């Protein structure tokens, strides 16, 4: 079945520095979309990025990710993190014909001053 | 815009009792509704996926007998936790989406269940 693997646990980054949160996946399907969701403390998860095109960079709110089917990856990056970026980040996939999302275990990003 | 409401936001029940939680989609058609449990130990667990006009699919370790779900129309879903015990504690999230393979899933704020 489908699976999504993320950088485990807590990632701590100093404000102003870059960050990359890893996401790799396994799927037998070719028609698949990939998502990054962000969940701030005491809030619902919200969509951050979405992509289904190989090798195309997707950007939103300063974050960006590029789907690389050759390496089965969809890593999330930001060149300069802010304190307000501290949150839980989830990578997920979904394919047509199936309404189910498959989520990774989540990575907690903590930005320190 | 698309919004998902959940209620109650918090609930406390005695061990062995049951509680019902609701999910309301506004501004879009919730063709499918997924119920998740989020806990410190197991982060994001999918309980079941409900699609209008299709059978509800439960994930391994979750059953209809324990978590019965109703999804009567394109805006509403409910789930009951029957005979709740300590291991059922957590934040129950509802995620709803429209038809279409790449549709965004909109999440409600969750119902936090405490079992005494």
Domain hosting residue B7, numbered range: 3-104
**Is B45 among the domain residues?**
yes
**Is B113 among the domain residues?**
no
Position B100 scores a pLDDT of 72
- From the list B4, B104, B109, the residue facing A50 with the nearest CB is B104
**Is B53 among the domain residues?**
yes
**Is B62 among the domain residues?**
yes
CATH number of residue B35's parent domain: 2.60.40.10
CB contact under 8 A, A47 and B105: yes
Alpha carbon distances (Å) from B104 to A70, A82, B41: 25, 26, 26
pLDDT in tens, B41-62: 667 789 999 988 888 999 999 9
The ranges assigned to domains in chain A are 3-112
Q: B58: which 2 tokens? A: 């439960």
Q: Scanning the structure block, which residue is given the tokens 């959940």? A: B6
C-alpha distance from A108 to closest chain B C-alpha (Å): 11
pLDDT in tens, A68-113: 999 999 999 999 999 999 999 999 998 776 778 889 999 999 999 9
Is A29 a residue whose pLDDT tops 90? no
**Is B116 among the domain residues?**
no
> Which residues of chain B make contact with A50, given a CB cutoff of 8 A?
102, 104
pLDDT in tens, A40-64: 988 889 999 999 999 999 999 999 9
Gyration radius (Cα) of chain B, Å = 13
- Domain A3-112 in this protein, CATH class: mainly beta
Q: How many whole angstroms separate alpha carbon B95 and alpha carbon B55? A: 17
Number of domains in chain B: 1
Which of A2, A39, A99 best tests the B interface by mutation, with the highest count of B CBs <10 A?
A99
CB contact under 8 A, A96 and B109: no
For β-strands A10-14 and A107-112, DSSP reports them as parallel
CB contact under 8 A, A47 and B104: yes
With an 8 Å Cβ cutoff, is B102 touching chain A? Answer: yes
**Is B112 among the domain residues?**
no
CB contact under 8 A, A99 and B95: no
Q: How many whole angstroms separate alpha carbon B55 and alpha carbon A111? A: 43
Q: How many whole angstroms separate alpha carbon A10 and alpha carbon A110? A: 7
**Is B44 among the domain residues?**
yes
**Is B110 among the domain residues?**
no
């Amino acid at each position: 079945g489908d699976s999504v693997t993320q950088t485990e646990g807590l990632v701590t980054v100093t404000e102003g520095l870059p960050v990359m949160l890893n996401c790799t996946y396994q799927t037998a399907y070719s028609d698949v979309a990939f998502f990054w969701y962000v969940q701030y403390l005491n809030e619902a998860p919200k969509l951050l990025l979405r992509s289904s095109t190989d090798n195309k960079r997707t950007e939103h709110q300063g974050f960006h990710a590029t789907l690389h089917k050759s390496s089965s990856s969809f890593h999330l990056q930001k060149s300069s993190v802010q304190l307000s970026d501290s949150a839980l980040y989830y990578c997920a996939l979904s394919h047509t014909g199936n309404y189910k999302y498959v989520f990774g275990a989540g990575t907690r990003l903590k930005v320190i001053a | 815009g698309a919004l998902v409401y959940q209620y109650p936001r918090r609930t406390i029940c005695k061990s062995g009792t049951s509680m019902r939680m609701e999910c309301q989609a506004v501004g879009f058609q919730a063709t499918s509704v997924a119920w998740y449990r989020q806990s410190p130990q197991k982060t994001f667990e999918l309980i079941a996926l409900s699609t209008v006009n299709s059978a509800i699919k439960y994930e391994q370790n979750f059953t209809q007998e324990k978590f019965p779900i109703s999804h009567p129309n394109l805006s509403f879903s409910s789930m009951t936790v029957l005979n709740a015990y300590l291991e059922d504690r957590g934040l129950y999230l509802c995620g709803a989406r429209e038809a279409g393979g790449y549709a965004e899933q909109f999440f409600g704020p969750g119902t936090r269940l405490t079992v005494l």
